[in-house]
Amino acid sequence: MRAVIQRVTRADVSVNHEVVGSIQQGLLVFLGIQFDDRSEDADWLIKKIIDLRVFEDFAGKMNRSVMDIEGDVLVISQFTLYGNLKKGTRPSFNRAAPPDVAAPLYEMFIEKLSNEMGKAVPSGVFGALMYIDAMHEGPVTLMLDTRQKDF
């Protein structure tokens, strides 16, 4: 699994001009699922996301997690995180999991993250054309990959 994580003061996702997920201060997570990802990948990634110290403490240092600030997380599926441009300029997505594999892992990820946070985690709609509106803070953007843990 691969995630792009952005610190936001607010974010929402719309499908067919209807907001389907919305958060205030917290993390906007774009989640890509690789064809051979498993539950263990979700567990590792969730732990990293909720423990990321990217929010400022009283001294102005990034020393607090989304849990520390009682923030929210919005999860958006994004297979394009596995886009490969080795040949030419048209991306290949052959490493991304097909929808019948990725959709259940995406739903499982959201459920496990909700359990860890102790509250519902809003999300986009898997496979839908989505519009994301976010107010980035910082900006702070990080990438995590369960196969390349030093990414």
Candidate list 24, 35, 80, 141, residue with the active-site label: 80
Q: 106 Cβ partners below 8 Å, 6+ apart?
A: 31, 33, 75, 77, 123, 126
Nearest to 24 by CA among 119, 147, 143, 150: 119
Whether residue 99 has a cis bond before it, omega within 30° of 0: no
Residue 6 known to be catalytic: no
Place of tokens 């909700």: 114
In the beta sheet, which residues pair with residue 2? 32, 145
Residue 89 known to be catalytic: no
Candidate list 6, 34, 78, 146, residue with the active-site label: 78
The SS3 assignment for 45 reads: helix
Candidate list 30, 55, 79, 109, residue with the active-site label: 79
Residue 78 known to be catalytic: yes
Q: Residue 135 class from Cβ within 10 Å (0-12 exposed, 13-18 middle, 19+ buried)?
A: exposed
Q: Which residues are catalytic?
A: 78-80
